Chains A and B, each alone.
Chain A
Amino acid sequence: MAVFQHDVLIIGAGLAGMRAGLSAQAAGADVAIISKVHPVRSHSNAAQGGINAAVDEDDTWEDHAFDTVKGSDYLGDQDAIEVLCSEAGGEVLALERMGVIFHRDETGHLGSRAFGGQQRARTYFVGDITGQALLHVMYEQLIKQGLRIYEEWFVTELIVEDGSCKGAVVIDITSGQMHVIGAKAVIMATGGAGRVYEPSTNALICTGDGISLAYRAGAPMMDMEMVQFHPTTLKGSGVLITEGARGDGAYLINADGDRFMEKYAPNMMELASRDVVSRSEQTEINEGRGVDGCVFLDMRHLGMDLIRERLWQIREIGIDFVGVDIVKEPIPILPGMHYIMGGIKTDVWGRTPLDGLYAAGETACVSVHGANRLGANSLLDTIVFGKRSGYDAAERSKNGHATMPGEDYAVEGEKKIRALLDRPLNGDRVAKIRLDLGKVMNEKVQVFRNEDQLKSALEDVRALKKRYDTVGVEAKGKVFNTDLLFHIELGFMLECAEMVCLSSIERKESRGAHYRVDYPTRDDANWLHHITCSYTPGGPQLGTAPVTITRWEPQERKY
């Protein structure tokens, strides 16, 4: 048991966390990053298609911002979107100079591809492994700068004293030892909560840790009803197939071989925004024009050369996971849970309403994505707001509080863990509860929603929470006890799920990813505001927050 101290503690070592770490260190802070997996195992890897920015001289950040605002169905905060898009170009160029091997055009300058919901091609990419390429280069920079990383350490709770966040209680997974890390500022960068759904494109580590930890510590959540279903997830495993495929010209076809997007988005076709495409696919499937619950992504006409250069990983995935070679056959896909627009409410510097606590990346809700995130804006979000929160946290730490939390927190933490391990086994299993949760969410809080289903989902989730309160941990050891970690993670997930259900019931209109069959239109008069969730011992307390509109008044949204 030990107490460590740093100026800035970053929880999570994906792109947002690493970017925050680099920027906090550059601003003069003593920084440490803690992550439950090695940094390059983070889920930022999974972003395939690219990162958006107005880099070309004939593109403008304002155009990018407008596309983002429209994509968000006007729920995005326009001051934050202006920050995101105006800083995008500089950040993408900086990534290039760090070493990212971005695709080039014939002049050797950065070359882009088209992505959904945008008027022009401004997605910069490395084949279909952009997230991986960025993540590994960011890790290179981390090595270069010698940042302190607590690798394979797991946070069990945040420490709040006198209304300020002052650190975290942690388990070193390898030894099972508990420690306290004190910090003058804490940045939450733990990614999303995708595993709340089953299936999901998200990695098994995406269990909403940061959202739940911050919620329990008293920071409000925002836009939790906004869950993105990606239009092209693979049949069966739910593995992601990049939007870049459609950006590069792939078609969506139904069982009859028709390009059905003609009916739903005649202008943008397959490149309409994700919520629109996912609903169109689900409609085709529901009306009997799918096969086995799927429609198809057809890349046969793209040719071997393009596929080899830009979509090699997708080809590999198709062959490995469904035995389909995309060069020769259309691949079966369906909409699948992919991203949560909601998260910890922050301002444009990553500051949450809880003093000393910051958040960046998918964990956070600035809100730049509003009701629907544009493809390739998520990597951008991690970089821009990771950097900004790192900078601000470092500045804050320069005149931060002097008293640091002591070892008591670890002693208390250990008691809780001991109690959990001592809990008798009752025949139920963490995995069973998790699977039930995933199915409930996938069936009842999905692309098309209605009040009855949502309420039933909420009841189910609350019943699962009851089961959770009595389920035990099978493995009793200290070293690499993943069984214990899964138990703690399930607690995080159930809290996230409850907030998603409650917020979805609350919003009685259709906006972006939140489509209510019982309220099928957007209702700006009553619902052009954010829904927030705050912790109370009895469950989340709903509230509202205004949407910031700077220059783009809400209009009808058509693609």
Chain B
Amino acid sequence: MQVKLKVKRFDPESGEEPYYQQYSVEMPETATVLDALIEVREYHDGSLSLRCSCRSAICGSCAMRINGRARLACKTSVRSLAEEGEEILVEPAGNMPTIKDLVADMAPFWDKVRAVKPWLQPSGPPPEREYVVPNEAMQALGEVMNCIMCGACVSDCTSLEVDKTFLGPAALAKAWRFVGDPRDAQDLSRLREYSEPSGIWDCTRCNICVQVCPKDVKPMDQILKLRAAAVHEGIRNNNGSRHTLAFVELVNANGRLDEFRLPIFTEGKFNIIGQLSYLPSAPRMIRSGKMPPVFPHKISGVKHVKRIFKQFGEREPGPAKLVSAGGH
């Protein structure tokens, strides 16, 4: 089939702005976008630069934006995107500078991975043999270990788009790989660090990372696990965890959300400065008749809601704990 590509080109040596170039190549029906790009590079235009290596979605080299969404070119079949003759838009990964053409500068990506102290930190003398842990605990980490650090999630992260300091989905998923590992003993200090500004609480839960991840790592879910663990460990000196706790407290009390008290509780009940920061919007909302009721509506079945909180609410595990460092 004839595959039409519209590729974003950029050559820093030329002094020119990025531009789009169209290519048309004959490919088999089963071709991936990477196959088509390689065909271009090898037989039509040797100046086109991109990274690729394994062709089977394990090396993480070829993450780029294809039709506006971050994907691995090697895992994206042409057929899944375009009918014969339809153009496919190929651009470098987002939220990172571009070195040339489809090659993104991943230095900021790796800086953030390094920032989460991504290595196992057990405590005490190491065992003579292996750490003894249940298979389920290892399997539970399979999801994050599946991460190939391709940067697709970072490319499309909506928080990073407005704030380059955010640690981002890949680094934080990597962080859960340690907090969730029963062999790691630094959960508390890790969670404290990850709870700092630009950390776990800056994720908007927009789900883009879950959507674009080619390896089903679900980075956002790992961030939510970090949040739960941080709350569980009593790290509450930030608006993020206070927001979660306030939300829980208010729904538990009324069965529904009490939007009047939520921001007040989030800033801290006695944090006058924090509460004042909501003042500009409050009069506006009152003027337009949108102020949430000061006395919240309580649903009649609130006792049942309380029962659910009681039964399930305290059960969520914090960070994984080591079973035994003993050998056989």
Contacts and interface: CB of A to CB of B under 8 A. Distances in A.
Question: Touching in the complex, A and B, CB below 8 A?
Answer: yes
B46 A475 contact: yes
Given A37-B53, A132-B58, A481-B49, A106 B135 contact: yes
Interface centre among A136, A239, A479 (most CB of B within 10 A): A479
Contacts of A109: 129-130, 132, 328
B190 to A, nearest CB: 14
A436 B181 CA distance: 49
Contact of B149 (A40, A101, A313, A479): A40
B27 interface: no
B13 interface: yes
Interface in A102-150: 102-111, 126-127, 129, 132-133, 136-137, 140-141, 143-144
Interface residues of A, number: 66
A129 B54 contact: no
Interface in B2-59: 11-13, 30, 41-43, 45-47, 49-59
Nearest to B129: A93
Interface of B: 11-13, 30, 41-43, 45-47, 49-61, 75, 77, 99-101, 103, 106, 110, 113-114, 118-120, 122, 126-127, 129-135, 138-139, 141-142, 145-149, 181, 183, 323-324, 328
B32 to A, nearest CB: 9
Given A38-B106, A41-B59, A108-B134, A479 B13 contact: yes
Given A93-B130, A480-B100, A41 B60 contact: yes
B145 A108 contact: no
Given A45-B58, A102-B138, A103-B135, A479 B12 contact: yes
B181 A101 contact: yes
A480 B59 contact: no
Contact of B42 (A97, A102, A429): A429
Contact of A99 (B45, B59, B119, B139): B119
A479 B100 contact: yes
Given A40-B148, A109-B132, A143 B114 contact: yes
Given A104-B135, A143-B118, A474 B59 contact: no
A204 B41 CA distance: 14
Interface of A: 37-38, 40-43, 45-46, 57, 93, 96-99, 101-111, 126-127, 129, 132-133, 136-137, 140-141, 143-144, 174, 203-205, 236-237, 239-240, 309, 312-313, 316-317, 320-321, 429-432, 473-483
Contacts of B132: 107-109
Contacts of B148: 40, 45, 132
A237 B74 CA distance: 11
B170 to A, nearest CB: 12
A353 B149 CA distance: 38
A97 B50 CA distance: 37
Interface centre among A98, A102, A109, A473 (most CB of B within 10 A): A109
